[in-house]
Amino acid sequence: MFTFRAVLNLAMLVTESERAKAIRSRMLDIVLDVVAERTGGHTRFINQRDQDYLPSAFMEDSYRKQFTNALRDHVDMGNHKYAVYTDKIYKAVFCENAREYKQVLRLADGDSTRDTMYAEVLKTLASFESGLAVSIQQLAQKLGRKLKPAEVDQLLAEAADSPYLKPSIDDARTRMASRDLGFREALHQKLEAYVQAVPEADFDRFLGERSEALEQRLSDPKLMAVLKRLWGNTSWIRRSAPKTLTSNWVRASWSDTSSTAPYDP
């Protein structure tokens, strides 16, 4: 008798022959039926059931504003720079641009990529954006002018090769590749080498007693009190929290800063 976790991990690891692939496909169908039942059918947004998702989403949003402000103030390039460098950071972290990521997860053009990302991926993006924003600002101030795209590309390449970020990037790739294959039946081909068996702790985080739908978390007065202390008025979160576990609820209005509205895939 196999446990739910054992069946899923076996299905993920059986990949060699055509017969094995057929068995794996059927096993994943069974597993995904169970996952869909436990999550109310919203497997695409299963990442939001993690108790770490909401704080990570807020943190990433804050650092992204710093990054887009750095692009606005210190990079000599048209407004398409937001899309260009968002895609380049995505590729540095998980080897896909926004369009490729949406294709893997079968997202619509209007869906936000970050609404589907795991907490660890959001934290890695936040670290990358924060460090790159500081590097852009410092170099621009040193040179006394806005940076050219080639100069920003060099800073981004240095960040991508940084030994300080490598553990976080490798961890983000492993979690994205493994969880998306296990929970969403979505294979990131460029991350296939990072696929591992889903650890038991992940089942508790996304499907067990520790997991909750986003709406349930937003109805917790203790959580809302903490968020209010950290980020101020949170009434807009409740007002815009979606019924389908996703939308732009996590992002405050860009009119709160002096930045123009950036690309937000």
Asked if residue 1 belongs to a domain, the reply is no
Choice between 227 and 180, residue whose per-residue pLDDT is larger: 180
Amino acid identity at 189: Q
Q: Name the phi and psi angles at 172, rounded to 5.
A: -60, -40
Max mean pLDDT among 14-23, 25-34, 178-187 falls in 178-187
Choice between 239 and 13, residue whose per-residue pLDDT is larger: 13
Supply the pLDDT for residue 70. Answer: 98
Domains of the chain: total: 1
pTM (two decimals): 0.73
Please give the DSSP secondary-structure letter assigned to residue 146: P
What are the residues facing 75 on neighbouring strands?
Answer: 147
Over residues 151-161, mean pLDDT: 97
Q: Please give the Cα distance from 184 to 222 (Å, whole number).
A: 31
Asked if residue 171 belongs to a domain, the reply is yes
Asked if residue 186 belongs to a domain, the reply is yes
Q: Any idea which residue has 């990054």 for tokens?
A: 67
Amino acid identity at 242: P
Q: Please give the Cα distance from 112 to 98 (Å, whole number).
A: 9
Supply the pLDDT for residue 148. Answer: 98
- 3-state class of 248 per DSSP? coil
Provide the residue range defining the domain that includes 75: 39-256
Asked if residue 33 belongs to a domain, the reply is no
